[in-house]
Amino acid sequence: MNKILRTVDDLECHLRGTASDGYSFVYKDKVIKSAFQPIITHDGQVFGYEALMRVYDLDGSRFQTEPFFTANDLPINDKINIDRLARVIHLRNFACFFDAGALFLNMSPDALIDNFNNKSGPKLLFPRVKSLGLDCNNIYFELLEHHCEAKDDLFTVIKQMRDKGVKLALDDYGSQASSESRAKSVLPDIIKMDKSLLQEYIAGDTKRLTDAMALAKSIGARVLLEGVEDQLAYITAIELGADYLQGYYFGRPKLLNEFRQPLSTAISS
């Protein structure tokens, strides 16, 4: 597909499902669904959820997510379309199935630039959020760690978003292009540390995480530690003074039908 989806009608033709059973979308013979993983405050409360994509073949078989989205032969237009469709279903599903909490939405640099260069962001995104009864103050856009050749355009777009009051999280700091220079350029509300930093810290190599947390403090960003997979990682994250925590210790990403009962608003330690 060479066409970039820019209108409501363009997007709607790929969607399936309802408010009662959840929304998904079909693209290039794949079915993409929403999964949500909890994000926890330092004192054990559920702060919000990160929305993630899960990919299936049309026959219902699970497909590996990363090869599908990161394949070098997947055209940039397709990547932008998938990024945009994912936000549509994540927003709808969150509005239908969650009563409270923040929503973290991933967004690639290329999709960000396209959204605002073509006015798709202001024209489609903000009215959609309002119509769903969601509060923009509870939505964080996660700038993915992907490299971007048009850096000046990216930072211009980020500034436009910030001027509109949009909240920003920098994803996977310490991986690929999610670096000190990007952090200082976009000044995110939250820096999500790549899980490798916590793993290194626990193994005794403390420099990268210590430096990253010092950077966050210097620019006024809160810290979210990813990769909290067990009790040792949890205790370490608390001792480090992280504002938020995310990882399998608190819960794996779940499809909507896997939320058999509401997640407790507190995590026992």
pLDDT tens digits for the chain (269 residues)? 578 888 889 999 999 999 888 999 999 889 999 999 999 999 999 999 999 999 998 888 887 666 566 556 678 899 889 999 999 999 999 999 999 999 999 998 888 888 777 655 555 677 788 889 898 889 999 998 888 888 888 888 888 888 888 899 999 999 998 999 999 999 999 999 999 999 999 999 999 999 999 999 999 999 999 999 999 999 999 999 999 999 999 999 999 988 855 444 444 43
- Residue 106: the pLDDT is 94
- For residues 133-165, one letter each, b for 16 or more C-beta atoms within 10 angstroms of the residue's C-beta and e for the rest, the string is ebeeeebbbbbbbbebeeeebbeebbeebeeee
- Residue 36: the pLDDT is 97
pTM of the model: 0.90
- Residue 224: the pLDDT is 98
- Residue 268: the pLDDT is 42
Domain ranges of the chain: 8-258
Strand 46-57 with 139-143, pairing:
unpaired
- Residue 104: the pLDDT is 98
Domain 8-258 grouped into CATH 3.90.79.10: no
